[in-house]
Amino acid sequence: MKSLIILSFFLFTSALSIAQSGAAKFGYVDTDYILGQIPEYKAAQNELDKTSVQWQKEIETKYTEIDKLYKAYQADAILLTDDMKKKRENEIINKEKEVKDLQKQRFGVDGELFKKRQELVKPIQDKVYNAIKAVAEKSALGFILDKSGQVSILYANSKYDKSDEVLIYLGYKK
């Protein structure tokens, strides 16, 4: 019985030392911080924001026009014949459909804003990803976590923060 306990203890400590020696090292970055330090990213975001605001104003103007048409229709409804009512209703419905289609075209899942974001931001994100990978390989890290996104980190020792190393690798810091 005593030898079984000693053997179990020996196997446990051996397994623990093997696990510790082969454990993967972790690091983390803050991609929001990194991207915020890159002038091209800021410029791309500003351009996207400007375009988005411009398109949103255009859509709001069209909705205001539709609202005016609808109010005019309501005011004139008593005086209109059934054919005239139907014609004005169809005009309002068609304009609403046009605006909704424009909104989808500009802001939809595969809309113009998404494509413009892919065109402007994706190359910068790819460059950052490649830098993160290079820093991780240089530091012999098994994993790099991103503390700015959906991943939750309950504790992060700042000595493992690799954000500045990524910026240095990209040439944005000395």
Residue 7 lies in a domain: no
| CA 123 to each of CA 7, 32, 120, 127: distance values in angstroms, whole numbers, following the listed order | 57, 16, 7, 6
Blockwise average pLDDT, block size 10, the chain, 174 residues: 40 41 76 93 96 97 96 92 94 96 94 94 92 88 83 66 90 82
- The answer to the question of residue 75 being in a domain is yes
Q: According to the model, what pLDDT value does residue 12 have?
A: 39
Tokens of 91: 């005009």
Domain count, the chain: 1
Say if 10 falls within a structural domain.
no
CB 169 within 8 A of CB 131: yes
Q: How far apart are the two ends of the chain, measured CA to CA in Å? A: 63
**4 falls within a domain:** no
Give DSSP secondary structure letters for 17-48.
Answer: HHHHHTPPPEEEE-HHHHHHT-HHHHHHHHHH
Task: Say if 157 falls within a structural domain.
Answer: yes
Write down the pLDDT at residue 153.
64
**143: three-class secondary structure by DSSP:** strand
Question: Which residues span the domain enclosing 72?
Answer: 21-170
63 lies in some domain: yes
143 beta partners: 26
- pLDDT for position 152: 57
pLDDT of residue 136: 87
In a domain, 16, yes or no: no
Residue 1 located in a structural domain: no
Largest CA distance in the chain: 105
